[in-house]
A = this chain, B = another copy of it.
Amino acid sequence: MSKPTEEIVQTLKRKQLRVTPQRFAVYANLLSRTDHPTAEQILSDLNQDAPVSSQATIYNCLQTLREVGLIREVLLEEGNCRYDANVQPHHHFRCGSCGAIADIPWQALQTIDLSHLNPDWQVSGYEVTVHGTCEACQA
């Protein structure tokens, strides 16, 4: 999911966003990981060596990036909003023990037929959340 610097810059510009060091760092960080971090985790990751961004700016950047559709939120546990730079349709696995979240490729699960649901609904998409225990937690 990681991309070269120049590609990230172009992606941001295409969305008419100024390429600031903070915004670049937040997006690049999200692109480089698949663990669906919280705002807090991104903050501490970015600032672990040198100060890069304030907390308020992390929240601003995440909100802006979400508004333009470059990232999305993943809500699978109470009081914890996680972020994902993979905006293509895909499913999630969540470990009920440690809370870890992993992506499941769209093609890994068969397509679900939604044509027989309530006809008054205009259905635009769906996603599957698989619950279980991850390898590390099965000790």
Q: Which residues of A contact B (CB under 8 A)?
A: 73, 75-79, 81, 93, 95-96, 102, 104, 108-110, 112-114, 116-118, 120-135, 138
Contacts and interface: CB of A to CB of B under 8 A. Distances in A.
Contacts of A131: 123-127
11 contacts: A93-B117, A93-B118, A93-B121, A109-B113, A114-B130, A117-B130, A122-B138, A126-B128, A127-B129, A128-B128, A129-B129
How many copies of the shown chain assemble into the complex? Answer: 2
Q: Describe A's contact surface by its main secondary structure.
A: strand
B108 A117 contact: yes
A128 B127 contact: yes
Nearest to A116: B108
Contact of A135 (B95, B104, B121, B128): B121
Given A75-B75, A75-B78, A76-B75, A124 B117 contact: no
A4 to B, nearest CB: 29
B112 A109 contact: yes
